[in-house]
Chains A and B, each alone.
Chain A
Amino acid sequence: MTSPASSSEVKYLIESSEGNTFDVSGAALRQSNTFNAMFLNIGADGPIPFTDYNEATLKKVFEYCEHSVNEENYSGPKHQDDLSKWDLNFFNEMDQKMFIDVINASNFLDIERLTSYCCERIARMLRGKNTQEMIKVITLPTAEELEAKQKVEEKKAAAAKKVAEKAAETAEKTETLEELPVQQLVQTTRNKLTRKYLSFSNE
């Protein structure tokens, strides 16, 4: 099932965020540089967990990989007019949420061809537009969002500062704690000796 021997016949099991598994051919998986770096040489025991992405997204991504297995070597993004009917259908079938998920998954799996086609599609969406038209096409972070983001960053910085301060404090305390038993020991010994001396002199 998940042998390191890389033949196109080999099937790998993929696990999605829902915990569902489905199989993908080795040839399709090899289009993912992430997979190549992680599993190709060492093999995988059991399903390969891509649990940050749902089943629909992963299936869509690997549908593309399966389709482009026999295509010639990738040489940069195609012009939109050069896309095949299958390619166009593939992109047109997706709604925006799925499209974004596919870009994210494709980016994580490092599938250059798919990522580039998706990005070409976005660039095309922005082509020939003036500022006002572009603002309509893209979602820009609102002032509130930017403020919230800044607050989060400030909070994070403050939390990191607190952690650093606490760590420094703990380190200081540990130093004193380490010193305490020694001091106590010295004092106790001194007391004992004084007592002994006194009792001795009394005797």
Chain B
Amino acid sequence: MSVPFPLLRLPFLPFEKVIKQMNSFEILILSLCSKASKRYCKFVKPAKPIVFNLCINGGVHITVQWENPKPEKEIEKNNKDWKVLYADDVLISTNFTICHQFNVLTSESYGYIHYKPNSDRTSSTYRISQHYFTEEVLKWIDAIREVFNASFHDFFLGTSHDERVIKWIEAEKPSINELGIQCSLDSMITRNVLNYITPKEKFHIRCEILGPMYFMSRSEFDKKSHVTNSIHLNDLLKLKCPVINAECTDFTDNDLNLFLKNWKKIDSNLKFLSVNRSPNSPKIDEKALIEGLNVTKLEKLAWVRRGDESIGIRGYSISNDEGKMAVFGIDTWSRKNVNFKFSLFSELETQY
């Protein structure tokens, strides 16, 4: 059919059937064609993505993952020699990239021989990247949010971002499960962002200098000259986020002691807290930390799992007036002695 097809003039039911036979990424592309196509696609209520992440730091990186409809006939037919994990349809241009990755969600084995196209659940992950921020990329983000009724799972805002991003955050007040920022982000911007976004599950502050991935490769000069706009511990706690993992935080030994005393008295939803003082800060005084608290020294490491990482806590156990128990300690291993960790007992891998 060489003449353009009047897709949007079809009655709703056939239109819905057409959409249901397209994969999620094709629906996204269709919704980007015009305002009308976006509205029509939204009416069909396509499936929500499993993952929807956004990282803005210089460039913009959108990661969106959908479960594929079953059975996976199309993939099977088009890729007879396919592997379990591969990337196809990579459109590379100077500044805009879309990468597609196919995954098996439920397979007993990682070998492609064991993949059962008719029963295994599969997903497609699309990584959409632009080297710099444009209005066009906002259209993609808004289309995913509106058409698929998606909210962000992970949102990271780095130092290098466009002013339009902040304006967009102010206007949209997006719903976010996990919010991450860079420690060197301007404190005014951080406050502004936190006024409009309340992370529901996790808040993390990443530091390029003290972060676990970069620590070894940084020079002493880098560490000494590192300037941060540290958020105070009390401001972090005001977010009422269950998981807080913050590099470069501003707190004194007294602040930590007060936090533990308050935790004993006031019930909170905090499950895990890890805070690092900025580099070049004095060590945490353990005596000041536990002063006036009824705590028990842990005999062995308490392990807590956060994502793919297992974190060991060596220190003390404490219980509050509600009968909840927690462990806390000072990390003296990989970094300077400025890390404080706190975790509820229920979050531990090994129960005491």
Contacts and interface: CB of A to CB of B under 8 A. Distances in A.
Contact of B21 (A77, A100, A107, A138): A77
B196 to A, nearest CB: 30
B79 to A, nearest CB: 13
B21 A96 contact: no
Interface residues of A, number: 32
Using C-beta atoms within 8 Å of the partner chain, give the interface range for chain B. 20 to 34
A137 B14 contact: no
Nearest to B76: A79
Contacts of A138: 4-8, 30, 33, 37
A200 B20 CA distance: 92
A129 B8 contact: no
Contacts of B13: 107, 115
Given A119-B18, A125-B1, A138-B6, A104 B11 contact: yes
Task: Find the residue from B6, B19, B34 having the highest chain A CB count within 10 A.
Answer: B34
Given A116-B17, A122-B5, A107 B11 contact: yes
A79 B207 CA distance: 51
Contacts of A127: 22, 26
Interface in B1-59: 1, 3-11, 13-14, 17-22, 26, 29-30, 32-37
A123 B4 contact: no
A171 interface: no
Interface in B62-76: 73-74
Given A103-B14, A140-B36, A140-B37, A126 B91 contact: no
A131 B29 contact: yes
A33 to B, nearest CB: 12
A116 B18 CA distance: 8
Nearest to B140: A131
Nearest to A132: B33
A136 interface: yes
B3 A96 contact: yes
B287 interface: no
A146 B6 contact: no
A120 B21 contact: yes
B29 A134 contact: yes
A202 interface: no
14 contacts: A79-B73, A79-B74, A100-B6, A107-B14, A118-B14, A122-B10, A122-B18, A123-B18, A125-B5, A134-B33, A138-B30, A139-B4, A139-B8, A140-B8
A-B CB proximity, top 8 nearest: A119-B17, A123-B21, A139-B4, A138-B7, A139-B6, A119-B18, A140-B34, A122-B18
Interface of A: 77, 79, 81, 96, 99-100, 103-104, 107, 115-116, 118-120, 122-123, 125-131, 134-141, 146
Given A96-B1, A125-B1, A129-B29, 12 more contacts: A103-B10, A107-B11, A115-B13, A119-B14, A120-B21, A122-B7, A126-B22, A130-B91, A134-B29, A134-B33, A141-B8, A146-B36
